[in-house]
């Protein structure tokens, strides 16, 4: 499979072009099947994108938004990706979208996999747009190279859509889409800014295994479009 790189002069240009492309893809999906799905990631990088995207003019009431992964914390917790999405993406025009949370009241994320999976029973798949980020250790979603669950998360023979993970190098249990669920998405984007992250990605693809740098598993097994600005 392939990695296509789209380089922009700065983050502002990236955000403008990227948010329009996402909106166009969602509109097309709505026209074709009356529903569109958008899977996003947390962190600081996508915040300007969220704030641009929520202003785009489309029928957001037919869009389902969810996360590629979530920390196992309350939705009001400062580390919650859901909180980030609600405050920055589910605003303005996009306030009409449907959001599917990846948390439950279970103490252990592992006990909630079945319930989280069931929430997607009526959601059209494959997902129309998936936006991934990447950590400096090469993890993506919550598929961490340091976690005991990494082999299971990368197992494309598994039918599992979600997996509970526990990184040893970062706090909180996690709920994450599995590699199989990620790579089955129709349009996969990797959104990075800065030379450092680009160097990590290039190093991961050239010099490491999929288990050592899970982002490599996505790029090797799917067509991925890198949206990057220095």
CATH of the domain at 126: 3.40.50.1360
Rounded distance between C-alpha atoms, residue 89 and residue 159, angstroms: 30
Q: How many structural domains does the chain have?
A: 1
> Residue 40 has which token pair?
């996003």
Token output for 129: 């747009």
Backbone phi and psi for residue 226, each to the nearest 5 degrees, phi listed first: -85, 120
In this prediction, residue 7 carries a pLDDT of: 98
Taking phi over 0 as left and psi of -120 to 50 as alpha, with beta for the rest, 186 belongs to alpha
Task: Tell me how far apart the alpha carbons of residues 29 and 21 are, in angstroms, rounded to a whole number.
Answer: 12
**DSSP assignment string, 38-105:** EEE--SSTTHHHHHHHTTS-S-GGGEEEEESEEESS-TTSTT-HHHHHHHHTSSGGGGGSEE--S--S
Residue recorded with tokens 């009241």: 105
CB 85 within 8 A of CB 199: no
Taking 70 as the pLDDT cut, the residues of the chain under it are none
Range of the domain at 39: 3-229
**pLDDT the model gives residue 1:** 82
DSSP the chain: --EEEEE-SSHHHHHHHHHHHHHHHHHHHHHHHS-EEEEE--SSTTHHHHHHHTTS-S-GGGEEEEESEEESS-TTSTT-HHHHHHHHTSSGGGGGSEE--S--S-SSGGGGHHHHHHTTTTS-SS-SEEEE---TTS-BTTB-TTSTTHHHHT-TT---SEEEE--SSSSS-EEEE-HHHHHTSSEEEEEEESHHHHHHHHHHHHH--TTTSHHHHHHHHS-EEEEEE-
pLDDT (0 to 100) of residue 151: 98
Enter the pTM of the model: 0.98
């Amino acid at each position: 499979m392939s990695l296509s790189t789209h380089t922009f002069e700065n983050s502002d240009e990236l955000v403008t072009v990227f948010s329009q492309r996402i909106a166009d893809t969602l509109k097309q999906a709505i026209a074709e099947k009356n529903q569109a799905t958008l899977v996003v990631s947390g962190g600081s990088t996508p915040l300007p994108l969220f704030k641009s995207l929520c202003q785009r003019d489309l029928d957001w009431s037919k869009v389902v938004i969810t996360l590629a992964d979530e920390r196992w914390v309350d939705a009001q917790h400062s580390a919650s990706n859901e909180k980030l999405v609600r405050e920055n993406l589910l605003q303005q025009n996009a306030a009409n979208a449907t959001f599917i949370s990846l948390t439950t009241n279970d103490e252990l994320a592992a006990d909630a996999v079945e319930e989280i999976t069931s929430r997607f029973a009526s959601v059209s798949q494959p997902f129309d747009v998936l936006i991934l980020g990447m950590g400096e250790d090469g993890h993506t979603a919550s598929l961490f190279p340091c976690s005991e669950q990494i082999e299971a998360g990368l197992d494309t023979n598994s039918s599992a859509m979600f997996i509970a993970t526990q990184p040893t190098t970062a706090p909180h249990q996690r709920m994450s889409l599995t590699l199989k669920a990620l790579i089955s998405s129709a349009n996969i984007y990797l959104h990075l800014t800065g030379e450092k992250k680009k160097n990590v990605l290039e190093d991961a693809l050239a010099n490491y295994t999929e288990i050592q740098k899970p982002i490599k598993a996505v790029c090797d097994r799917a067509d991925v479009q890198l949206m990057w600005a220095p």
